Amino acid sequence: MNTTLAKLPRVLLIATATATLAAALAACSASSSSSTAGSGHTHASAPKAKAAKAASAPKSTSALSGKWSGNYSGAYNGTFRLSWHQSGSHLHGTITISNPRSRLGINGTVHGTAITFGTVGSTAITYSGTVSGSSMSGTYQVQGANGSTGGPWSASKS
């Protein structure tokens, strides 16, 4: 037991020295600035700039997540319901269409106002268009044995 107590001051001394060194390095890193020769101007250190940028950066939006209702016309006419989740620019979920009646998995992307998506169950159906707030519209294409057919579509957030 005496040897353990004898080692305790040395352990505390090492821990204190390590903590002091870490605090000094952190203080130097956080408060360091570089001066432009003779100008008197200083620049914020990189850690402060990164922290400020991270605090002001917008978080990933998921404005398209949720339920959407729409219609399509042209080669096929009917209605559809989308239920999807947005993660960054990626979309995934399900689409239920009225003609021909089916429910399929769906994936897509959104870049700015441009949106594209297609069914997982049939890669022959693709949708493209634009998004503006709680509405979107565009055209769809269905690849068939006799070529491509399609028409316009539009949807609004439910």
Q: Is the pLDDT of residue 134 over 70?
A: yes
Q: Is the pLDDT of residue 27 over 50?
A: no
> Alpha-carbon distance 4 to 151, whole Å?
83
**36: which DSSP letter?**
P
Q: Is the pLDDT of residue 33 over 60?
A: no
pTM to 2 decimals? Answer: 0.59
pLDDT at residue 2, as a whole number: 52
Burial 22-31 (b: 16+ CB within 10 A, else e): eeeeeeeeee
% residues pLDDT > 90 (the chain): 44
Residues in Cβ contact with 33 at an 8 Å cutoff, skipping those fewer than 6 apart: 42, 43, 44, 45
pLDDT at residue 64, as a whole number: 94
pLDDT at residue 89, as a whole number: 96
Over the stretch 67-124, which tens digit does the pLDDT of each residue have?
A: 999 999 998 899 999 999 999 999 999 999 998 788 989 999 999 999 999 976 666 7
Q: Choose the CATH number for 66-157 among 3.30.390.50, 2.170.130.10, 3.40.50.720, 2.40.128.120.
A: 2.40.128.120
pLDDT at residue 75, as a whole number: 86
Side-chain half-sphere CA neighbours of 145 within 13 A: 0
> Alpha-carbon distance 141 to 130, whole Å?
15
Please state the domain extents for the chain.
66-157
